[in-house]
A and B are shown apart, each in its own frame.
Chain A
Amino acid sequence: MINSKSIIATLFFLMASSFSSTLRGQALSASEIIEKNCRNKESQTFYSEISMTVVRPTWQRETKAKMWIKTRDYSFVLLTAPAKERGQSYLKRQNNLWNWQPSIGRTIKLSSSSTTGQAWQGSDFTIDDIVRNTSFREQYTATLLGQEEVEGTKCHKLQLVPKPETPVVWKKIVTWISTKEFVDIKSEFYGEHEKLIRTYLAYDIKQEQRYFIPMRMEIVPAGKKGHKTVLTVDRYTLQESLNEKFFSLQNLKNIR
């Protein structure tokens, strides 16, 4: 009797604890979810090679680039293809952004106001997206909208509204962050009057040590039939050793 009682008690305890953990899982606050998402996204230091295809109704164009990225603060982007654009590079140090144009031998400082929303290499990605200037944690206030499934993945659905006086282009972002890896696998970006401007989608989540990285990303602009940009990560290696000094203006011209 005692045995069976204890078994029942154990079972009950197990059920209760699993239930409570589920409860706890659901009870994650919006800021906790964003925190986990940003810890994954913004603390990676890595080298990667990407190819980006701009798809338009009548033409396609592929751009290849190498990227060195240290957290959200430092990044280097070097174009390797097409031939005409090869050697162009972008450097970001905190809030400063420079562009090296080998064809004219000039480093151009990009003023932040004119860069935030500009298309990168004629794609649907903005320069911000590429040099990782956007931060859900620092620039936006999140509210949890509930849970939803996106293409079979269970996600937290959150709404992000820019904090006052934050110089961002979007008036609102609705994002779906996976409950398991805390990767934002879908985001909708809204402009003035709550008008959907574009949708971001992430696929093929790969685990590299403690980080989860989408290996393919897409931006689909709203209301433009046949328009999209696909960015695939061809190579990805974590490089925790990358030093801040690497991200210098001298290197901007010399990086290969």
Chain B
Amino acid sequence: MWNLLRKNLWRNTRRTCLTILSVFFVVTTCILTESVHKGIWHSSLQQLLRIRHGHIEISNKAYADQPSPDHFLMADSLMFNRLRSIEGVEGVFPCTESFAMASSDNTSKGVMVWGIDPELEEKRMAISSMIVAGCYLQSTDRNILVGEKLSRYLGIAPGDSIALLGRGYHGSTAVGLYCVQGIFSCPIPEVDRSIIYMTLPTAQEFLNVSAEYSGIYLLLKQEKSLPAVIEKVKTVLDCDNCSVTDWKASMQDLLIYSDAAQALGIAVTVLLYLVAGSGLLSTVIMTTNERRHEFGLMIALGMRRSRLTRTIIYEHLFILAIGIVAALGFSLPITGYFNRHPLQITGDAAEVILHNLTKPEISFYFESDLFASQILAIFFIGCATLFYPIIVIRRLRIESALITSNQLRV
């Protein structure tokens, strides 16, 4: 059987290569398209989560309804250490978030004041690389960082001071005069337009609170460990007035958008499979029809139809396997490379992306699930196309096959 297979494949290398090539193109196209599609979504989501509230958010239960310093969450270093030691957690980021009014000489604007740990935050967002004027915060600084658009609106530069006026603990007035240490430019316009960063102790003093936080954000090494980590966080915290939510709960809008985007992705993929499948089928039809005479001869010479069918199936599977392996060999390095070195987008498209989401770049998705799903899908499509030669062999009438082939040859 194995011999027959080998001989059959090598007898007409042109035909074999054509089929392999067809499988190769189909698999490569599917993998690359899916990789780009998933990559764009995945990387912009991860980027967004980094900038926003991380994968998991821990806060006081009452804070969601009434976000004020009265409903901050108490936390100590012991708790942070416990959270940090959970497997799969990349970082733990405590912060205070509050609304205030920033006022320079004669303009004022509503802003969000974020109290952060400058060293920790560096791992999350790398704000220091976004600094366009002045310098980044040190943990002992009492100064602030201001977004570029906001600084332009307020007409301030590093060294100037602005007044912040907000609501502190138990309705007290939160007020302070702060010196601008640096100005950062963030790809998310919302952040750039309305956020002021200061160190945690400064923010807590501004709001008249002690070691309390509006939220503690957890970034995970891998998105897929989310449910397991959430469970662990809940057991580690063991507190009744804490709420532990994943980003899916706090970013409902995004999820709806994501579902819509995924649905569109699925539609495109189905279309792609249809095109790929019909391409593959046409190749199979062509090669099968070419061999009608051969099949007829084999059966006439006494080969059982079932054996012939089995031979054809093995041939076909072999070709599929070679095509898939070749495609993997080709697309793995490509997706791997673009996963690590994202494609940079420039021009108008970049502007649009900047306005909507995150960095104007496309990084390819590079996970085993993508390859597995694509290979499996193409494998099934390949197997489905097998029905054609099987049916042809079962229904083949020897005389007509021999005669038609002879006539064709004449």
Stretch at the interface among B7-15, B103-111, B119-127, B329-337: B103-111
A180 at the binding interface (Cβ < 8 Å): no
B252 smallest CB distance to A (angstroms) = 18
| A56 and B165 form a contact (CB under 8 A) | no
Rounded to whole angstroms, the CA-CA distance of A191 and B101 in the bound complex is 23
Interface locus among A2-10, A99-107, A167-175: A99-107
On chain B, the residues within 8 Å of A113 by CB distance are 110
Q: Which residue of chain B is the closest to A104 with respect to CB atoms?
A: B177
Kindly count the residue-residue contacts between A and B in the assembled complex, taking CB atoms under 8 Å apart.
59
B139-174 residues at the A interface, CB under 8 angstroms? 163, 165, 167-168, 170-173
A110 is an interface residue with CB less than 8 A from chain B:
yes
A side interface size, CB within 8 A: 24
B contact set with A: CB distance below 8 Å: 66, 68, 70, 101, 103, 106-110, 163, 165, 167-168, 170-173, 175-177
Report whether A104 and B101 are in contact in the complex, using a CB–CB cutoff of 8 Å: no
A-B contact pairs, 28 of them (CB 8 A): A61-B171, A84-B172, A85-B173, A99-B165, A101-B163, A101-B175, A103-B175, A104-B163, A104-B175, A104-B176, A104-B177, A105-B177, A106-B103, A106-B177, A109-B103, A109-B106, A109-B107, A109-B108, A110-B101, A111-B110, A114-B101, A114-B108, A119-B171, A121-B173, A122-B68, A122-B170, A122-B171, A123-B171
**Chain B residues, CB < 8 A from A121:** 171, 173
Would A108 and B172 be within 8 Å (CB), given that A56-B70, A114-B101 are in contact?
Answer: no
Sorted nearest first, the 8 A-B pairs with minimum C-beta distance are A122-B171, A104-B177, A108-B103, A114-B110, A106-B163, A111-B108, A101-B175, A54-B171
* Interface residues of B, dominant DSSP: strand
Contact present for B103 and A122 (CB under 8 Å): no
- Chain A residues lying within 8 Å of B66, measured Cβ to Cβ, are 224
Which B residues lie within 8 Å of A59 (CB)? 170
16 new A-B contacts at CB < 8 Å, known A109-B107, A121-B171, A122-B172: A56-B70, A61-B171, A101-B175, A103-B175, A104-B175, A105-B177, A106-B163, A108-B108, A109-B103, A111-B110, A114-B101, A119-B171, A121-B173, A122-B68, A122-B167, A123-B171
Chain A residues with Cβ below 8 Å from B103 are 106, 108-109
Minimum distance in angstroms from B177 CB to a CB of chain A = 4
CB neighbours (8 Å) of A110 from chain B are 101, 108
Determine the distance from Cα of A26 to Cα of B107 in the docked complex, in whole angstroms: 49
